[in-house]
Structure 1
């Protein structure tokens, strides 16, 4: 067999071997999704395994993993997921129940120290490290104010621990929608980028 014939056979064999991987990738991209319709025509496409809790458009909790109390409030611990908040929740979104401050970030509807979301035996204590800010795409033609920062947790006696978590926030000021994620939920940023507006 000539070198040219061997090359053609090798290319054909590679194409056959690659076909299943391509089919799998396409099937994954077209996996079934929840359509979560929100304010002002925003639709998010979320994986079917994510569970949606809450009513209306002001307090929606999307649970993405292990969670003993999915119907719990905003500061429920050890519950993987994120929140989609509307105008009523945003009005109470700063520490002390003032309105959420888009320039500062850090949604915190409380006036006292709350438990650490990743370890309910600990308390949240302080933001640490750099605070990333900018704009992020949420569907075509819409940009959200974006904040990302880390918070360290401590014991009830005040001892600082190595436990920390990252908060990400996307705020759409025109539509009054705020997404708050304290679990760095894989796939969330992509779901927001791929959203639709009707």
Structure 2
């Protein structure tokens, strides 16, 4: 074989390997593969807990990781699938971003930052669309949350619940912790196919 033929064969082989193995995350990041071909590149320090139709990504301190959605004191965000969204509205109705936030309960749930208080979500203060990867638009909402006393309703603190809903993929990303870098991670997501 000539030198040119060997070089072309090596380049072709490298192209096949690159097609089989997605661009690897750096040593400080990992690839999180989700349903519908969605892949997020997340820091290696984040921990992932999967249950049936939900994925919890713990991004910092967490008293009880891998538990239900309303676990307080757990820096994390969630990715919900279509089965979970069927009961994702207040009162356990189907989730609809135009009707209200993701809130699968019929009573006042514990505040994400302090379990001594309940959470109350208000009307969306940001409504629009955001890219999740190329050519995938998510309904984007920011719902203001208040942590209130169960005894007298007095406000103790606030938080925002950010939501990215992808109607075609039936995926919802919910973040109550203002997770640093999450908006950029979603914007730079990749999709298979």
TM range (shorter): 0.7 to 0.9
Q: Can you list the C-alpha shifts for 1:35-94, whole angstroms capped at 9, x where unaligned?
A: 1111121111111011000234x2110000000100210000010010000001110100
161-170 or 119-128: bigger deviation:
119-128
Q: 2-side partners of 1:40 and 1:78: how far apart?
A: 30
Q: 1-side partners of 2:45 and 2:136: how far apart?
A: 27
| Aligned 1:151-190 pairs, distance under 5 A | 151-190=145-184
Q: 2-side partners of 1:194 and 1:131: how far apart?
A: 24
**Aligned-residue RMSD, C-alpha:** 1.6
| Aligned 1:9-24 pairs, distance under 5 A | none
- Correspondence for 1:61 among 39, 52, 56: 56
Q: 1-side partners of 2:84 and 2:153: how far apart?
A: 32
- Correspondence for 1:49 among 42, 45, 50: 45
Structure 1: 4+ residue segments shifted above 2 A: 29-32
| Aligned 1:40-189 pairs, distance under 5 A | 40-56=36-52, 58-127=53-122, 131-189=125-183
With the length of structure 2 as denominator, give the TM-score of the two structures.
Answer: 0.82
Q: 2-side partners of 1:187 and 1:31: how far apart?
A: 18
Is there any run of 5+ residues in structure 2 with no aligned partner, and where?
1-24
Is there any run of 5+ residues in structure 1 with no aligned partner, and where?
1-28
Deviation (angstroms), 1:126: 4.1
Answer with 1 or 2: which has the greater Rg.
1
Kindly tell me the number of residue pairs found equivalent between the two proteins: 168
Q: 2-side partners of 1:35 and 1:105: how far apart?
A: 31
Deviation (angstroms), 1:189: 0.5
